[in-house]
Amino acid sequence: MKTKKILIIIGGGIAAYKSLDLIRLLKKNNFEIKTILTKSGREFVTPLSLTAIELSENFPEIDPQWISFPDLHKKICNLDCFNGDPNSSNEKILEAIQMAWIDELD
């Protein structure tokens, strides 16, 4: 069976909040999701939230509470959705992503 692929463009507006629930639901039903977060969408949803969803889906065996920052950095850079500069990462950013990942599992 072919994997269904969906592109979700998250724009500005109250519906942006619901997009995270939609992404979770579709991923649980084995859809392959790609997201684009617009500039105005960033006022409602952070890239951290999208990264946390990706991490929880791609690494279900990992407890994010115990991952080291170097390992977390590698995992983030290897995500399909990653399009940032790997050299701009720092402890503050990694800690925020780690916390969002922990929250995603709760």
Least Cα distance to 66 among 91, 101, 104, 93 occurs for 101
Give whole-number Cα distances, 12 to 23, 35, 39, in Å: 16, 14, 8
Per-residue pLDDT tens digits for 11-41: 988 888 889 889 989 988 989 888 888 989 8
Least Cα distance to 18 among 48, 36, 44 occurs for 44
Domains and CATH numbers, the chain: 1-45 (no CATH), 46-106 (1.10.10.600)
The C-alpha atoms of residue 103 and residue 71 are separated, in whole angstroms, by 19
What pLDDT does residue 31 have?
A: 92
Q: Give helix 47-58 / helix 91-105 axis angle, nearest 10°.
A: 60
- pTM here is 0.76
Higher pLDDT, 80 or 55: 55
What values do phi and psi take at 13, rounded to 5?
140, 165
Per-residue pLDDT tens digits for 71-85: 999 999 998 878 788
Q: Could you tell me the end-to-end alpha-carbon distance of the chain, in angstroms, rounded to an integer? A: 31
What pLDDT does residue 83 have?
A: 77
Quote the radius of gyration of the chain (alpha carbons, Å): 14
